[in-house]
Amino acid sequence: MANFLFLFFAGFTVVCAAGIVLNRNAVNAAMCLLLCLVGVAGLFVRLDAFLLAFLLLLVYAGAVVALFLFIVMLLDTKGGTTPARSALAKGAGLVAFALLAAGVASLALKGRLAAPAAGSEPAVGASLKLYADQLFTLYLLPVEIVGFILLIAMIGVIVLSRKETGAS
- Examine residue 64 and state whether it is found in any structural domain, yes or no: yes
Instruction: Quote the radius of gyration of the chain (alpha carbons, Å).
Output: 21
pLDDT of 17 reads: 92
Residues 10, 100, 61, 36, CA torsion sign:
negative
DSSP letter (8 states) at residue 125: T
**One domain, residues 9 and 70:** yes
- Examine residue 119 and state whether it is found in any structural domain, yes or no: no
pLDDT of 152 reads: 86
Please give the Cα distance from 134 to 141 (Å, whole number).
Answer: 11
**One domain, residues 74 and 129:** no
Mean pLDDT along residues 44-65: 85
Residue 46 clears pLDDT 80, i.e. is over it: yes
Please give the Cα distance from 76 to 112 (Å, whole number).
Answer: 47
pLDDT of 3 reads: 86
* 2 residue type, one letter: A
Please give the Cα distance from 96 to 137 (Å, whole number).
Answer: 36
* 68 residue type, one letter: F
pTM: predicted TM-score of the whole model, two decimal places: 0.56
CATH number for the domain harbouring residue 28? 1.20.120.1200
Q: Lowest mean pLDDT: which of 17-26, 68-77, 99-108?
A: 68-77
pLDDT digits (tens, 9 = 90+) for 88-125: 888 888 998 899 888 888 877 776 656 666 665 655 55
Closest CA to 124 of 22, 32, 25, 52: 52
Mean pLDDT of the chain: 80
List the domain range (segments joined by +) for residue 24. Answer: 1-78
- Enumerate residues 6+ apart whose C-beta is below 8 A from 119: none
pLDDT of 10 reads: 92
Residue 50 clears pLDDT 80, i.e. is over it: yes
